[in-house]
């Protein structure tokens, strides 16, 4: 699937395109499909998100979205060396998902 991601203009938070807005949670991401470039252009013009770009990802059997590249998986979760600062501070094992 083609997923749009970027960093929120105000906070810098990593965000993912949900089809209508931006979410901090990668599992909210939708497949932008053939409209990816069009949405990207519109969102760049809207200037809410910094340098949005398209990545490859897969939706797994449990419905979770897994970016293809480790860099985007780290972006999706947070720094692997600070589990307490990730989006899943109560689940240190979430780091395994990144690697």
Partner 1 sequence: MYKYDNYDQQMVDARVEEFRDQARRRLEGKLSEDQFKPLRLMNGLYLQLHAYMLRVAIPYGTLNSEQMTALANIADKYDRGYGHFTTRQNLQYNWIKLEDAADILADLAKVEMHAIQTSGNCIRNISSDHFAGATHDELVDPRPYAELLRQWSSFHPEFTYLPRKFKIAVIASEKDRAAMRLHDIGIQIVEQNGELGARFFVGGGMGRTPMIAPMIRDFVPLDQLITYAEACLRVYNRYGRRDNKYKARIKILVHEIGKDEYTRQVEEEFKHLLDQGIEPPREELERIKPFFADPAFEDGPKTVDRSDPDFALWIDRNTHRHKHDSYVSAVISLKPVGGIPGDATGEQMRLMAQLAKQYSFDELRIMHTQNVVLPHVKIADLHDLWTELDAAGLGSPNMDSIEDMIACPGLDYCSLANARSIPLAQRISERFDASGKTGKLGELKLKISGCINACGHHHAGHIGILGVDKKGKENYQLSLGGSEAEDVSLAKITGPGFDEDGVIEAVEKVTDVYLDQREGEERFLDTYRRIGMAPFKEALYD
Binds partner 1 by CB under 8 A, chosen from 21, 53, 60, 71: 71
DSSP helix/strand/coil, 39: helix
Q: How far is the CB of 75 from partner 1 (least distance, A)?
A: 5
HSE-CB at 40 with a 13 A cutoff on CA atoms is: 17
* Six token digits for residue 89: 């501070």
Task: Decide whether 12 or 63 has the Cβ nearer to partner 1.
Answer: 12
Read off the DSSP letter of residue 68: S
| Distance from C-alpha of 4 to C-alpha of 54, rounded to nearest angstrom | 5
Q: How far is the CB of 70 from partner 1 (least distance, A)?
A: 7
Q: How far is the CB of 54 from partner 1 (least distance, A)?
A: 16
Task: Decide whether 34 or 66 has the Cβ nearer to partner 1.
Answer: 66
78 binds partner 1 (CB under 8 A): yes
Distances (CA, A) of 24 to 34, 39, 87: 23, 18, 9
Give the footprint of partner 1 on this chain (CB under 8 A): 7, 9-14, 47, 50-51, 68-71, 74-75, 78-82, 85
């Amino acid at each position: 699937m083609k997923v749009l991601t970027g960093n929120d203009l105000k906070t810098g938070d990593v965000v993912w395109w949900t089809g209508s807005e931006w979410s901090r949670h990668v599992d909210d991401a939708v497949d932008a499909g053939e409209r990816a470039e069009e949405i990207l252009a519109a969102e760049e013009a809207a200037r809410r998100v910094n340098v949005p770009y398209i990545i490859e990802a897969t939706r797994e059997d449990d419905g979770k979205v897994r970016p293809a590249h480790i860099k985007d998986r780290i972006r999706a979760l947070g720094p692997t060396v600070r589990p307490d600062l990730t989006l899943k501070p109560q689940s240190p094992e979430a780091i395994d998902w990144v690697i």
